[in-house]
Chain A
Amino acid sequence: MTQQTEAAPGAKHAPADSKKTASDLYRFKQSAINVNKWSKRLSSLVRAVLLIGMSFVILYPILLKVSTSFKTLEDLTNPTVMWIPERFSLENYKLAIDVMGYFSAIRNSFTLSAVTTILQTLSCAMAGYAFAKLPFRGINILFAGVILTILVPPQTILVPSYVNFKSFDLFGLFHLIFGDGINMLDTYWPFVLMAITGNALKSGLFIYIFRQFFRGISKEIEEAAFVDGAGVFKSFVSIMLPNAIPAMVTVMLFAFVWQWNDTFFSSNFLPSMNTLTNATLGFPYKVNVMLGATNQVDPFYASMLVDTGLLLSILPLIVMYLFVQRYFVESIDRTGLVG
């Protein structure tokens, strides 16, 4: 690519020198450049059409929801209104925020995601570092365990985990003291415990990313720290972690987003807590009940409300994405995910 763009300005200067000497060669060159130029233009046109088309496919549902959410019922049934509503209204939002308990849901979801993200990043970084740089006998068997956690679908261990957290116990210890296990459902503890031990949602993948990343860091940096008298732990905190910031950013982004979006664990371990995912999942039902109480349910009105609710639930993520998408795109290039 760069070679061709460099050649183009060179060709502009060419006429002055080459006219007298080798005009045939020059003409041949010029036509070759012309062909090149046209094929390049054509390919960039094709590329533009493809990318714009597919961007549209991605954005279409979101745009549609945005457009619908501002409409009133009259606009929805009005055939002349396609995208921009005639009567701009925020009624849908007011109603949806009210029914979902939006602000408490956001607070709960945010707390949950933030806490698990931080704990998970730290625990996975430690585990990944150990797997990459601190080998001991039998470590490969443990790493096979990490791979196993990636492969086993979470559904397989759902029921026992549920039972486990319903009356949580360690070696029968709590049974001895309190006479019964601790009910951890509807608290953040299942998530905190799983995150702090690096066994939460997709932790295996994060450990794998960190391991690949730390393997890519050269031995010399680490050895220099050891020669200067730093212990293994100190070199990890002051040399390795600052170096691993790209990988950490990637992992934090994924951990946050996946936890935020997670319906599986949060609907089972937090059955009656109002997190955003639970609020959104229960929303269609609530709308039906609410509308059904007053008159016959109008499916278009109901789905308009559901669309608004969905939009509200992904809104915080989209806002966050606007700020961090740069890191999202750039950091991955440097994480060594590829190794």
Chain B
Amino acid sequence: MRSPKRTFQQRKALTGMLFLAPWAFGFIFFFLVPLVNSAVYSFNDLKASDNGYTLTFEGWKNYTQALYVDATFVRKLTTVVGEMVVNVPLIIIFSLFIAVLLNQKFLGRSLARAIFFLPVILASGVMLSINNAGYMQQIMDANLASNNPAGASVNGFLQSIELKNMMMDIGVNESIVNYLTGAVDRIYEIISQSGVQIIIFLAGLQSISPQLYEASRMEGATGYEAFWKITFPMVSPLILTNLVYTIIDSFLNNAVTQQIDTTAFKTLDFGLSSAMAWIYFAIVAVILAISTFVVSRKVFYHD
């Protein structure tokens, strides 16, 4: 009785290895080897030629170049990290809030959901990269003198230029004005980055058993209490998931990645580009580790 069972287990294990073989193959050739190579490049000067490339060892030179010599890299890096620190909590709070709203029953719910998931298919794309590139800005600078600046709002994003001017006219302190308009300007950014997070939270909210809410209502809990005592702990594992997702997502496409890209393919300095990429990866890893460590201690697991 025992031996066929064991062979069945073995057969399962064998099939498992067979199923994973293509993935493992790709993992080694399209991930692990490039990863190691990238580390090697970052310590070398890579010279591409017609038949392959040559490496000359340089030690930490690429790293010191990226950190101390390059004029923009460190500044861009701190900007990106700073933006992330400001945006990630906002995105998570916002997406939880919207998910709770969209989870209620009301007229036109499916339409509202459709609109809120629209950024999922649009935000990650070309739309963003072109707006990032500031195309309008470039030609505006060149031709500003000859044109009517009022036309800019026709083509600009949801900018709070009018709001800013209005508040300046009233005589509000400039730094306050900048902060407020900055937050308003960022609304689009936050909304457009929270599509997937809303989906994940929504799925989580729907998996909370309704009995919990019924019981709490019997006991006289208000909606506010029910949110903090039931909804929030029950979705807290998803806050962790979303935190990780948001951090990774915010590091996917920004000024630093663009610079890494241009360093490699425009200036053709592959070694420097790899060094930048590794510094970048190290910082992402440290931020992820710290934030998951802090948040995971607060997470409540139902089972």
Contact = CB atoms under 8 A, between A and B. Distances in A.
A281 B131 CA distance: 11
B239 interface: no
Contact of A59 (B101, B115, B199): B115
Contacts of A268: 261, 265
B220 to A, nearest CB: 13
Nearest to A317: B121
A150 B27 CA distance: 12
Nearest to B235: A338
A142 B116 CA distance: 36
A338 B302 CA distance: 13
B147 A160 contact: no
B124 to A, nearest CB: 5
Query: For chain B, what secondary structure do more than half of its interface residues adopt (helix, strand, loop), or is it mixed?
Result: helix
Contacts of B203: 332-333, 335, 337-338
Nearest to B188: A57
Query: For chain A, what secondary structure do more than half of its interface residues adopt (helix, strand, loop), or is it mixed?
Result: helix
B252 A153 contact: yes
Given A142-B20, A306-B135, A197 B26 contact: yes
Contacts of A198: 22-23, 26
A236 B94 CA distance: 40
B51 to A, nearest CB: 7
Given A152-B281, A281-B130, A329-B117, A54 B23 contact: no
A161 interface: yes
A338 B277 contact: no
A139 interface: yes
A44 B112 CA distance: 14
A149 B101 contact: no
A263 B125 contact: yes
Nearest to B12: A134
Interface string B171-207: 0000000000000000110011000000110111011
A58 B51 CA distance: 50
Contacts of A148: 31
Nearest to A71: B154
A260 B121 CA distance: 9
Contacts of B32: 145
B121 to A, nearest CB: 5
Given A160-B34, A302-B139, A332-B203, A123 B22 contact: yes
Interface string B113-157: 111111111101111011001011001101100010001001101
Contacts of B127: 61, 310, 314
Nearest to A44: B106
Contacts of A300: 147, 151, 154-155
Nearest to B281: A156
Contacts of A207: 23
A330 B156 CA distance: 35
Given A44-B106, A153-B281, A317-B122, A127 B25 contact: no
A76 interface: yes
Contacts of A156: 35, 38, 274, 277-278, 280-281
A188 interface: no
B298 interface: no
Interface residues of B, number: 99
A174 B29 CA distance: 15
Contacts of A48: 106
A159 B33 contact: no
Contacts of A68: 154-155
A303 interface: yes
Interface in A149-171: 149-164, 167, 170
Interface string A62-106: 101000100000001100000000000000000000000000000
A155 B24 contact: no
A131 B188 CA distance: 38
Contacts of A62: 122
Contacts of A258: 124
A239 to B, nearest CB: 14
A280 B130 contact: yes
B33 A164 contact: yes
A197 B130 contact: no
A153 B125 contact: no
A318 B119 CA distance: 11
A290 interface: no
A139 B260 contact: no
- Kindly name the residue among B19, B35, B285 whose own CB sees the greatest number of chain A CB atoms within 10 A: B19
Contacts of B129: 263, 281
Contacts of A277: 125-126
6 contacts: A55-B112, A58-B191, A159-B270, A231-B15, A280-B130, A335-B203
Counting from the closest, the 10 A-B pairs by CB-CB distance are A197-B26, A134-B16, A261-B125, A160-B37, A160-B34, A136-B13, A130-B19, A199-B26, A157-B34, A299-B139
